[in-house]
Amino acid sequence: MKKLIAGNWKMNGALAANEALLRSLITGLSGVAPAADMAVCVPAPYLAQVQSLLSGTPVAWGAQDVSAHEQGAYTGEVSGAMLKDFACRYAIVGHSERRQFHGETDALVAAKAQRALGLGITPIVCVGETLAEREAGDTEQVVKRQLAAVIHAVAHCTSEIVLAYEPVWAIGTGKTATPEQAQHVHAVLRKQLSAATQHPERVHILYGGSMNATNAASLLAQPDIDGGLIGGASLKADDFLRIVAASPAV
C-alpha cells in the first residue's frame, strides 16, 4: 500500500496564491510517478478552483469538514452532496481544531464520517490527545474512545476510512512526537481496527503532528505510519513534494 500524503491548508489561501502553489506542485510532479498518493484538503470556497487545476493530475482533493446533515436549514454548513458536486475524494472530520473551537463531540464526528461514506467520500478521521491528557497517561484511552465512536457509526464500512493521529500538543507548535511515540499510538489504533474489521490493512493511519520535510522520512519509516496529514508544510510546494519523496518505496 502506498503512503498517503494529504495537505490540510486550514484557513489559508487566496485565488492567486492557490494557483501558484498548485501549478508548482504539478510542475514538480511532471514526468515523475509520485512515491505516495497525494491530496490537498482546502477551504470550501476554493474547491471549484482546485478541481479545475488538479483534474487529470496525480493529486486528489478534498474538504476540511462536512455537515452531518443531508440538507436544509443549517446556515453556513456544507453538505456532502455539495462536496460531491466538486468531485471531492476526501473530507477531514474531527480535526482537533474543530473539536476545540467548535465543540465537536465524538458522536458528531462519527455522524460526519458516516455521512461522507454514504456519499462515496473518504473521511479522514482525526483523533488525538491534548498535552494534559498525555501527561496524565490517558493517550490510549482518549484515541480509542474517539475511534470507537466512529467504528460504532460506520460499522462494516470501517475499512473505508482514513485515520489520522494528531497529538494536539504537536499541531502547529513545531513539536513533534518522536517516531517511537507516534508508532506506539498508531499500533494501538491498528489493533483496535483489527478487532473491528476484517481488512485493517486497508486503512491508512496518517500522522498529523507537525510532520515536515525534515522529519518525514523517520516518521514514515515506522511500520504503522501510512502517511501524513500535513499542515503548514502543505502550503509550500517544495516542502510538500519533499515529504512525498520521503515516502518509502512500496
Q: Which residues are catalytic?
A: 95, 166
**Residues sharing a CB contact under 8 Å with residue 212, sequence separation 6 or more, in sequence order:** 176, 230, 232, 233, 239, 243
Three-state SS across the chain? CCCEEEEECCCCCCHHHHHHHHHHHHHHCCCCCCCCEEEEEECHHHHHHHHHHHCCCCEEEEECCCCCCCCCCCCCCCCHHHHHHCCCCEEEECCHHHHHHHCCCHHHHHHHHHHHHHCCCEEEEEECCCHHHHHCCCHHHHHHHHHHHHHHHHHHHHHHCEEEECCHHHCCCCCCCCHHHHHHHHHHHHHHHHHHCCCHHHCCEEECCCCCCCCHHHHHCCCCCCEEEECHHHHCHHHHHHHHHCCCCC
